[in-house]
Amino acid sequence: MKHLQDTVKLHNGTEMPWVGLGVYKVDEATEVEQAVETALETGYRSIDTASFYDNEAGVGRAVKRSGVPEDEIFITTKVWNDQQGYEETLRAFEASREKLGMDIDLYLIHWPVKETYRDTWRALEKLYARGDVRAVGVSNFEPHHLQELRQVSDLVPMVNQVEYHPWLAQKELLEYCRTNGIQLEAWSPLTRGRKLDDPIVGRIAGRHGKTPAQVILRWDLQQEVVTIPKSVTPARIRENADIFDFELSAEEQRELNALDAGIRFGKHPDEFA
**Which residue among 44, 53, 164, 176 is the active-site one?**
53
- Is position 19 an interface residue for ligand NAP (rule: CB under 6 A)? no
**Which has the closest alpha carbon to 76: 102, 50, 55, 54?**
50
The residue (of 184 and 190) whose beta carbon lies closer to ligand NAP is 190
Which range touches ligand NAP (CB under 6 A), out of 96-104, 120-128, 130-138, 191-199? 191-199
Q: Which of 66, 140, 170, 183 binds ligand NAP (CB under 6 A)?
A: 140
Residue 88 CB, shortest distance to ligand NAP, in Å, is 19
Q: How many residues bind ligand NAP (CB under 6 A)?
A: 28
d(CA 142, CA 201): 28
Q: Which of 10, 90, 173, 190 binds ligand NAP (CB under 6 A)?
A: 190
The residue (of 91 and 236) whose beta carbon lies closer to ligand NAP is 236
**Which has the closest alpha carbon to 115: 85, 135, 147, 136?**
85
Q: Is the separation of the CB atoms in 192 and 265 below 8 Å? A: yes
Interacting positions 75-104 with ligand NAP (CB under 6 A): none
Which range touches ligand NAP (CB under 6 A), out of 8-16, 186-194, 243-251, 252-260? 186-194
Between 219 and 248, how does the x/- string for binding to ligand NAP read (CB under 6 A)?
A: ---------xxxxxx--x--xx--------
Q: Which of 11, 192, 195, 264 binds ligand NAP (CB under 6 A)?
A: 192
The residue (of 51 and 231) whose beta carbon lies closer to ligand NAP is 231
Q: Is 53 a catalytic residue?
A: yes
Residue 162 CB, shortest distance to ligand NAP, in Å, is 7
Which range touches ligand NAP (CB under 6 A), out of 61-69, 129-137, 183-191, 200-208? 183-191
For the chain, what is the HEC assignment? CCCCCCEEECCCCCEEECECEECCCCCCCCCHHHHHHHHHHHCCCEEECCHHHCCHHHHHHHHHHHCCCHHHCEEEEEECHHHCCHHHHHHHHHHHHHHHCCCEEEEEECCCCCCCHHHHHHHHHHHHHCCCEEEEEEECCCHHHHHHHHHHCCCCCCEEEEECECCECCHHHHHHHHHCCCEEEEECCCHHHCCCCCHHHHHHHHHHCCCHHHHHHHHHHHCCCEECCECCCHHHHHHCCCCCCCCCCHHHHHHHHCCCCCCCCCCCHHHCC
- Is position 264 an interface residue for ligand NAP (rule: CB under 6 A)? no
- Is position 189 an interface residue for ligand NAP (rule: CB under 6 A)? yes
Residue 56 CB, shortest distance to ligand NAP, in Å, is 12
Q: Is the separation of the CB atoms in 16 and 54 below 8 Å? A: no
- Is position 46 an interface residue for ligand NAP (rule: CB under 6 A)? no
- Residues annotated as catalytic are 53
- Binding residues (CB under 6 A) for ligand NAP: these are 22-24, 48, 110, 139-140, 161, 187-193, 196, 211, 213, 228-233, 236, 239-240, 266
